Structure 1
Amino acid sequence: MNIYKRYFRKYRVLFFTATTFVFLESMADLLQPTIMARIIDEGVREKSVETVIGYGLLMLFITFLGAVFATVRNILASKVSQGFGKDLRADLFEKIMNFSESSADRMESGSLITRMTNDTAQAVQFVNGMMRIFFKAPVTGIGSMILAAALSPKLSIILFFVVSLVAVLIYISMKMSYERFAKVQYAIDKLNLVIQEYLLGIRLVKAFGRQNFEEEKFAKSNEDLEKKGIRSQLVIAYFAPVLSLVVSLGIALVLYAGSILFVRQEIEVGKVAAFISYMTQILTSIIMITNIFTTFVRTKASTERIHEIFVAEEDAEGGTKEFSSEAMSVVFENLSFSYPSGSGLYALENLSFCLNAGETLAVIGPTGSGKSTLVWLLLRFYEGKEGRILLDGIDIRDYTVEQVRNAVSVSSQKTMLFSGSIHENIAWSTPEMSPDRVERAARAAQAEDFILSMKEGYESSIYQGAVNLSGGQKQRVSIARALAKESKLLILDDSTSALDAVTDRKVREAIKEFKPRRTTILITQRIGTAMGADKILVLSQGKMEGFGTHGDLMKNSSTYRDLYVSQIGELDKVVI
């Protein structure tokens, strides 16, 4: 629970004010049985109407005060708990935004959503309940026991025995609940993941006719959640009636013992009635305390899951160096890398090459050769295990992560557009970007024609998942977004794969004109795209198979020649 200390410090004044009103409300509740005893023993027994009316009005006034205290307490509790929830969610989101890629790989998105919603809601409920119920229950319960003991020390023996037995039952219940509720939360994670995967791939599922399979997968996760939910609720189902039975037996024993004491004239009727009222308040407090411990157990499990986010590894900070030139040189020196949660095999091994500022590098190779890994390393999503990357002659680790990513713009094959207008998506890196720059970027990406054909042009809406755009349209908007960013290095990671050859060529020509001095890296599968680059890097199974111009590689790289022949044709053919 230590992670909540900073929030407590922020809201401590309101928190203590709310608990003060809880205390006052409890005092009002505790006074009523004693006043009722006075009404019975001094008013009814003595047949004094004035006494009955006097104490009756006092009882109404105290009840009114208790209602006022309860109202103020509820308002303060809502303000504190909702403010706490807002701050907690904001801090969690900020932390997730700064996750290292290995942390993001380890925690599935479905689990993160559950932690951001269900687990934080559980923590908010706990804080709200702490001010509304959790303080009231112990204060009322302890106060009732003290006042009951003052009324009749002999009857209090029964009371203390019942309370001790209930305390043991609550402890056993809490111990059994914790593990079960933690399993429920992980079952919710799995269910959310199934739903998320289906929604992201809904078209593919329908295209392959796999609805039945997805329904079975959902049903399996849903049934697992049901079973774990039932197991967690069974603890409450078993213990709640037992607790009520123990307290009810205690009340019955008090009635029996009270009647004996009354016959012996050792206690008055009003005091027996007041004692039973206090027993009832204790029963209510015990039920609330049971709920408190149940909520505490659930909150503890949720807190551990929230804590896992807060202690997760963040992006490396880096040094204090700054970029100086308009374009960026890129050098890989004997760099080797394997994914932290992967097989342990190198995705890139002993890679070395040099790209001068303002040049264009095409990276080509078969699937799984490490082309996209090279991009992730340039963005500092991961750190190389051996060797180093130099940007403008300085180790990439000597720049902050923010500086590196501000200096690089990326458009990938797996296009991600956001809900909003086309203008907002293209200007995503700089929301205040001028319309002129947005339109220039769209023209360079060969996207302006289809954008202007839409009803509202650049203000046309993109739906969630960009389902109202074709694959080629999405890629062109993504390329325009990368071009519009004022970056020193442009990376196009197979981002023209959905474009025809003519459009692909036009995009490449327009990119050179858009910002001539910008360093560019093209990740591609197309020889035709690679041939126009200043330098070409050929990768195969994470190793460099060749580096140089098209002419150099045609002479020296068998892998490059094989790709050329498979895509272009015979070696003596001329490509226009």
Structure 2
Amino acid sequence: MKLYSKYFKKYKFPFITAVLCVVLETICDLLGPTLMANIINIGIEEGSLSNVYYWGSRMIMVTVMGACFAVTRNILASKVSQRMGADLRYDLFKKTINFSETSVDQIESGSLITRMTNDTSQVIQFVNGIMRIFLKAPIMCIGSIVLASLLNFRLSLIIYGIVAVVAVLIILSMKLSYPRFYQLQKSMDQMNSVVQEYLIGVRLVKAFGTYDKEIHKFQAANTNLMDKGISSQMVITFIAPLMTLVVGIGTAIVIFIGSRLFSLNLATPGEITAFTIYMAQILSSLIMITNIFNSFVRTKASTVRIQEVLDCEEDFTHDGEIKELNGDINFENVTFAYPGGSGIPAVKNLTFSIKAGESLAIIGPTGSGKSTIAELLLRFYDVSKGKIFINGYDIKELNIDSLRNNIAIVPQKPILFSGSVADNLRWGNKEATDEMMQEAVATAQAEFILQMPGGYEGILGRGGVNISGGQKQRISIARGILRNSPILILDDATSALDAVTEAKVRENLKAKARNQIVITVTQRCGTAMFADRILVMDNGVKVGYGTHDALMENCEIYRDIYKTQIEGSREV
């Protein structure tokens, strides 16, 4: 109910109106058999054509009114359910935008897509059903029992027994269905994840020729989904016919006992006819109620999964004053271990500082904690111990927008979006002028843009599929430069560039930097050695900090890296 209360308040009036239309429509449907009984008993049996016309005209009028109510509630149900679905998808997307890194790690992207599409569609169908037929079924069932009891109490005892048996079948169906539908949704997550992984790594699959392995993975996930789907439908497959059989037997008993009561003058033909119609309505209602409960069970599983997303931990607060951070950076005894990981700290007791206007290179073996430092600086994660200061402010006490608006990052893997080159560049600064873009492009050595069809208005495919890796990196670097933030982080951002192009980019950045802090995360000694300060990491621990010359004298690990990469390449 927590999920629906917000939307019920928003659409309360049309929802209540639709429910009222459902009730009035159901009343019209319930009056039909009683009016039919009057036509038979008062009109046909007594040979009164005027009574047939009288009750017949009222029956037609009630039927027309019921049709009008049905059309109204259908229109309201469609509008409200679709609008609620749009609101729910928006809220889910907005929530994912504000996900903390812990939440991003917690729910796979394939599962998120399933929850925003399949699970949301299930909720929309359920809300639409509530306003159209779900409320009608129990009212129709109860109303039929009450009116049948008023017509002939003796015959109504049969109905009570039939309803009791069906109620047991419905409860059994609910208990068996819920775990199966929940597993069905999880299987759908798994299949979506397999497809998504393949689409992301399609070139790697082609390069390694692992088609059979990918087909096998998909087939396993697809078969699992099929099995779960069959399992969830088997309950309905058995329960629905049993209900039809029970009600059919009840109808036969009504006709049999009704004929006996008629011979004893305890029932009229009109009552028996009405009872037969009421039994058909009860059968229809009970089948509908079973479908309602099955839909409820499936929607409950979807609702739980959607609520899990809405309850996920959000990013840090955006409240507070936005500050300009153009001062020093200080790490003081920082320790951090990734949530849900091995528990081994990725960074241990890290202390260092860098002054405004300086450049810092972070170097070390794979898994030494280099990129983790950038993530902590951006507060993608909070430190486990210690503190990080920028411009004298503890970043935990800063408005998150203040922090991230003052930092530009160029990630390891360049991420570009479908659209024009200019759109991708302005993603870093939407107010950027053409001159600013041209300057950033020149700094990043990305003049190849001018040779592209359309130039700055040339269209990039999703992820930049129509340009090379080095070109992607240079556009990504230009975007980071265009942001013009006091802190620029290059997270192994020049790995696809040749040495000459990288040297030009480095020189351009140094000439442009002024008071900007440039942090370069790299595995190349040839890149790191030109920074003002070099931080050497190994296994999450700082093993060296200083200039290139100082580290060559007193840091063995840095010396080994230099000898392997620089001196080794010269020998070759």
1:273 matched to which residue of 2? Answer: 273
Q: Distance in 2 between matches of 1:298 and 1:216?
A: 29
How does 1:124-139 map onto structure 2 within 5 Å?
124-139=124-139
Residue deviations 1:47-87 (CA, integer Å, cap 9, x gap): 23332233222222221111111111011111111111111
CA contact (8 A) 1:319 1:398 kept: no
State the SS of the aligned residue for 1:441.
helix
2:381 matched to which residue of 1? Answer: 382
State the SS of the aligned residue for 1:465.
coil
1:79 matched to which residue of 2? Answer: 79
> Which consecutive unaligned segments of at least 5 residues does structure 1 have?
none
1:523 matched to which residue of 2? Answer: 521
Q: Distance in 2 between matches of 1:185 and 1:215?
A: 21
Deviation of the 1:89 alpha carbon: 1.2
1:24 matched to which residue of 2? Answer: 24
1:156 matched to which residue of 2? Answer: 156
- 511-520 vs 471-480, which deviates more? 511-520
Matched, 1:209 2:226: no
How does 1:27-426 map onto structure 2 within 5 Å?
27-317=27-317, 320=320, 322-325=322-325, 327-426=326-425
State the SS of the aligned residue for 2:50.
helix
| Paired residue type of 2:93 | F
Q: Distance in 1 between matches of 2:390 and 2:314?
A: 22
Residue deviations 1:534-559 (CA, integer Å, cap 9, x gap): 11111111111111111111111111
CA contact (8 A) 1:81 1:127 kept: yes
Matched, 1:431 2:443: no
Deviation of the 1:400 alpha carbon: 2.0
| Paired residue type of 1:49 | L
| Paired residue type of 1:292 | I
- 40-49 vs 298-307, which deviates more? 40-49
Residue deviations 1:343-369 (CA, integer Å, cap 9, x gap): 111111111111001111011111111
Residue deviations 1:256-308 (CA, integer Å, cap 9, x gap): 01111111121111111111111111111111100110011111111111111
Deviation of the 1:165 alpha carbon: 0.9
Q: Distance in 2 between matches of 1:319 and 1:143?
A: 55
Residue deviations 1:101-121 (CA, integer Å, cap 9, x gap): 111111111111111111111
Q: Distance in 1 between matches of 2:481 and 2:126?
A: 48
CA contact (8 A) 1:251 1:276 kept: yes
- 311-320 vs 27-36, which deviates more? 311-320
Deviation of the 1:370 alpha carbon: 0.7
Deviation of the 1:44 alpha carbon: 1.8
1:567 matched to which residue of 2? Answer: 565
Q: Distance in 1 between matches of 2:254 and 2:568?
A: 103
Deviation of the 1:439 alpha carbon: 2.2
CA contact (8 A) 1:412 1:495 kept: yes
State the SS of the aligned residue for 1:468.
coil
Q: Distance in 1 between matches of 2:43 and 2:189?
A: 62
Q: Distance in 2 between matches of 1:455 and 1:367?
A: 39
CA contact (8 A) 1:547 1:553 kept: yes
1:550 matched to which residue of 2? Answer: 548
Aligned length: 571
CA contact (8 A) 1:144 1:282 kept: yes
Deviation of the 1:12 alpha carbon: 0.8
| Paired residue type of 1:160 | Y
Deviation of the 1:324 alpha carbon: 4.0
Q: Distance in 2 between matches of 1:429 and 1:528?
A: 28
State the SS of the aligned residue for 2:239.
helix
CA contact (8 A) 1:173 1:236 kept: yes
Instruction: Calculate the aligned-residue CA RMSD, in Å.
Output: 1.6
1:455 matched to which residue of 2? Answer: 453
State the SS of the aligned residue for 1:446.
coil
State the SS of the aligned residue for 1:46.
coil
Deviation of the 1:401 alpha carbon: 2.0
CA contact (8 A) 1:420 1:462 kept: yes
CA contact (8 A) 1:321 1:398 kept: no
Deviation of the 1:3 alpha carbon: 2.2
State the SS of the aligned residue for 1:313.
coil
| Paired residue type of 1:534 | D
TM-score (norm 1): 0.97
State the SS of the aligned residue for 1:496.
coil
Structure 1 residues 318 and 41, CA gap change in structure 2 (3 angstroms): closer
Q: Distance in 2 between matches of 1:206 and 1:481?
A: 31
| Paired residue type of 1:179 | P
Q: Distance in 2 between matches of 1:334 and 1:324?
A: 25
State the SS of the aligned residue for 1:568.
helix
Residue deviations 1:297-336 (CA, integer Å, cap 9, x gap): 11111111111112212223288465345x3321111111
Residue deviations 1:159-186 (CA, integer Å, cap 9, x gap): 0110111111101110110011101111
Q: Distance in 2 between matches of 1:514 and 1:156?
A: 90
> Which consecutive unaligned segments of at least 5 residues does structure 2 have?
none
Q: Distance in 2 between matches of 1:423 and 1:183?
A: 45
Q: Distance in 1 between matches of 2:60 and 2:473?
A: 72
Residue deviations 1:383-436 (CA, integer Å, cap 9, x gap): 111111111111110102222111111111211111111111111133343222
Q: Distance in 1 between matches of 2:384 and 2:429?
A: 34
TM-score (norm 2): 0.97
State the SS of the aligned residue for 1:546.
strand
Q: Distance in 2 between matches of 1:429 and 1:61?
A: 66
Q: Distance in 2 between matches of 1:190 and 1:332?
A: 41
CA contact (8 A) 2:26 2:136 kept: yes
| Paired residue type of 1:507 | V
- 493-502 vs 79-88, which deviates more? 79-88
Q: Distance in 1 between matches of 2:119 and 2:239?
A: 25
State the SS of the aligned residue for 2:68.
helix
| Paired residue type of 2:58 | L
CA contact (8 A) 2:409 2:490 kept: yes
Q: Distance in 1 between matches of 2:432 and 2:69?
A: 54
State the SS of the aligned residue for 2:267.
coil
Q: Distance in 2 between matches of 1:225 and 1:250?
A: 38
State the SS of the aligned residue for 1:384.
coil
Q: Distance in 1 between matches of 2:70 and 2:434?
A: 56
Deviation of the 1:40 alpha carbon: 1.4
Q: Distance in 2 between matches of 1:318 and 1:48?
A: 79
State the SS of the aligned residue for 1:569.
helix
Q: Distance in 2 between matches of 1:322 and 1:358?
A: 22
Deviation of the 1:515 alpha carbon: 4.1
Deviation of the 1:18 alpha carbon: 0.5
What fraction of aligned residue pairs are identical, expressed as a percent? 52
Residue deviations 1:17-43 (CA, integer Å, cap 9, x gap): 100111111111111111111111222
Q: Distance in 2 between matches of 1:286 and 1:73?
A: 21
State the SS of the aligned residue for 2:293.
helix
